[in-house]
Amino acid sequence: MIDVEDLIELVRNYNPRTNEKQIRAAYDYGRKMHEGQMRHSGEEYFSHPVAVAAILTEQQLDDATIITALLHDAIEDTESTYGEIADTFGDEVAEFVDGVTKLTNLQLSSTETQQAENFRKLFMAMSKDLRVILVKLADRLHNMRTIKSVPPQKQAQKAHETMDIYAPLAGRMGMHWMREELEDLAFRVLNPEARSSIMRHFITLQRETGDVIQQITHDIRHELEVEGIEAHVFGRAKKPYSIWRKMQEKDQGFSRLSDIYGFRIITGSESDCYKVLGAIHRRWRAVPGRFKDFVSQPKSNGYRSIHTTVSGRDGKRVEVQIRTQQMHEVAESGVAAHWAYRDGVRAENPFAVDPVKWISTLNERFGAADSHDEFLEHVKMEMYSDQVFCFSPKGDVVKLPRGATPLDYAYSIHTRIGDSCVGAKVDGIRVPLWTRLRNGQSIEIITAEGQKPQTSWIDIVVTGRAKSAIRRSLREEDRERFIKLGRELARVAFDHIGKKATDKALKTAAKQLSISDADELLARLGSAELSARDVVHLLYPELAEGGEEIDVDRAVVGLQPDQTFRRAGCCQPTPGERIVGISYRGQGIVIHAIDCVALEDLEEQPERWVDLQWHSGKHPAVNTVSLKLTIRNDAGVLGRICTLIGEQKANISDLLFLDRKPDYFLLIVDVELRDIEHLHAIMLALEAESDVASVQRFRDLGRKP
């Protein structure tokens, strides 16, 4: 584990004015909080936050971010609290740590609806301060570097999540070195045989041809010396995953793949970039279609560089990237370059993009999506696709994802232009609307009054904005027909389980799916964008069958063999919630929810606190939780409510009427259930009932623990 003085020295190397006292305090606090905790590898757990902080020093980030890295697991995994961190290290650090904790709890690889909602939360966190994401990316990078000690099933889950979400996100933020390493580390887990095969081919190639990188580097330096251009030249072999991806895309074996080497040339000025390009193209033959000028047309994340591929020594294809030192800093750090320090002060890099503007632009584009599916589709398109740069008739540059069509271009200008599009001209020539656009083309859209989007357009466009606009227009056109059809589909689906598709049930389902109202829900059912079965399952989920239940006496992990426990009556902790144990003389251990107000009186007695957690698995339905209900006072209503709870495979252990009025009852219902998910399912089913005005969890804070 890196010593605190060594960590401070890493920060001091780029920021001599760093607050050493604050970093030292955070190091000591984090180590104390994580004391006794171990990683799967057997190392002290605190070695992980320290390693994350060290990764962030490589990006020359500010003190607040480094301190956040040291504390990023404190709230999640220790007795530390938001308030304690705020009091000790300031509100900014506390906000960052809380943000990282919330990101850690997001299940980004879950079902598509949950994944889309969690992506929304991810980008919401990004919009508050991008440094939260930088800490999370560094956290994931170190976890992937040390993943061998984790059980195989967990390795595969984390590797898939890394490949699908975190690596593309790092790339979207301009941190290409991190994207490449994350991809390769995930590749090592997901397809070790393929990676080993590529490595063996590399070794064989080096044995046959010698050190090609050194040879080509020497050739490039010689050409630059002849031209009198001062520049630094670096060469490297591409990462195994990058090579494997090219093999899959081109359907070629390793022996036929040529451009496996990449070189970077760092110049002193922008004009020298183009001089270097001329020297390279005079010496070697350029490969057609492989030239990109991101200096004159930078990417949205601030990336600037000239890319070209040439046939180098012995006909081997070589990719060359040419940029200045400031461009290189942005290329390495992406949007993180905004916070980089040089000589103890925030470095003003003219090429670094303003993170606030960048993320607001991103959120604006994602905000065009109406539903979870559209949002997820839009996010993945944005994160995975390269870009093409086209020109409007006035010469304005329009950025679109690779594979975009004139229709995508039209909708990127304005929804009205897209909806009324009847044709397009590319470089002055009339082309079909499904034509794929290329870099540098000039686009002109032809519109006509009365034109409306066609159903086939959905398959033509590739941008989320265009797809959302087309779907919205088609929905509005056929809305009444879809609502009528959706209502019938809902009726049949609800009848199948003995329920009625009441307005209350439909409104509840719409709320849970973040849909504006019941009519919009029905319209999506009628247009087959949403399944009636999914709506029924959302409101009345079938409880999982099978699997052994956990023994009631083994429900909690962390007790000594001779210790017994019981749940506190005041907060009624339920499996799935964070808990803590409090020892009571003669009563064993009493379990409280971590947010129970009764714990405030015990803060000065830490010796009585016991670190506990619920056993993972299927718990029996024996955990009593109180629900406060307001229901209609009418014949049979209470019976139906009790039946509904029974249908959710939960037992009512007690009923207490708090108030009886001519039109309603207010009562407390004690329900025995399995876990927090079971509780949410019961509350959702009750909320969907027309006879239930309100339902909420009731905690009797005056009840004895």
pLDDT in tens, 238-271: 788 877 877 766 555 554 555 677 889 999 899 9
Higher pLDDT, 99 or 541: 99
- pLDDT surpasses 50 at 384: no
Segment 148-169 shows an average pLDDT of 84
pLDDT bucket at 283, cuts 50 / 70 / 90: confident
pLDDT bucket at 696, cuts 50 / 70 / 90: very high
Higher pLDDT, 111 or 155: 155
Active site residues: 76-77
Amino acid making up residue 696: Q
- pLDDT surpasses 70 at 157: yes
Asked if 63 and 15 count as a contact pair (C-beta separation under 8 A), the reply is yes
- Rounded to the nearest integer, the mean pLDDT of the chain is 81
Question: Residue 694 half-sphere exposure, CB side, CA atoms within 13 Å?
Answer: 10
Segment 147-162 shows an average pLDDT of 87
pLDDT of 546: 47
- Burial grade of 562 (CB within 10 A; 0-12, 13-18, 19 or more): exposed
The contacts of residue 539 (CB under 8 Å, 6+ apart) are: 499, 505, 508, 509, 512, 684, 685, 688
- pLDDT surpasses 80 at 402: no
Q: What is the dihedral of CA 409, 414, 417, 420, to 10 degrees?
A: 110
In angstroms, the CA 449 to CA 451 distance is 6
pLDDT bucket at 25, cuts 50 / 70 / 90: very high
CATH number of 548-705: 3.30.70.260
For the chain, domain boundaries? 4-190, 193-346, 358-476, 478-539, 548-705
Lowest-pLDDT range of 31-40, 201-210, 353-362, 435-444: 353-362
pLDDT of 334: 66
pLDDT of 327: 85
pLDDT of 544: 34
Q: What is the pLDDT of residues 621-653, one digit of tens each?
A: 899 999 999 999 988 899 889 988 988 888 998
pLDDT of 251: 56
Q: What is the pLDDT of residues 594-605, one digit of tens each?
A: 888 888 888 888
Report the SS3 class of residue 72.
coil
Q: What is the pLDDT of residues 491-528, one digit of tens each?
A: 888 887 778 889 998 999 888 888 889 988 998 888 77
CATH number of 193-346: 3.30.460.10
pLDDT bucket at 164, cuts 50 / 70 / 90: confident
Segment 319-326 shows an average pLDDT of 89
Its CATH class, for the domain covering 358-476, is: alpha beta
Alpha helices in 334-387 (DSSP H): 355-366, 372-384
- The domain 4-190 having CATH identifier 1.10.260.40: the answer here is no
pLDDT of 152: 86
In angstroms, the CA 173 to CA 359 distance is 10
pLDDT of 543: 36
What is this structure's pTM? 0.52
Fold match flag (358-476 vs 548-705): no
- 415 Cα distance to chain centroid: 28
Report the SS3 class of residue 257.
coil
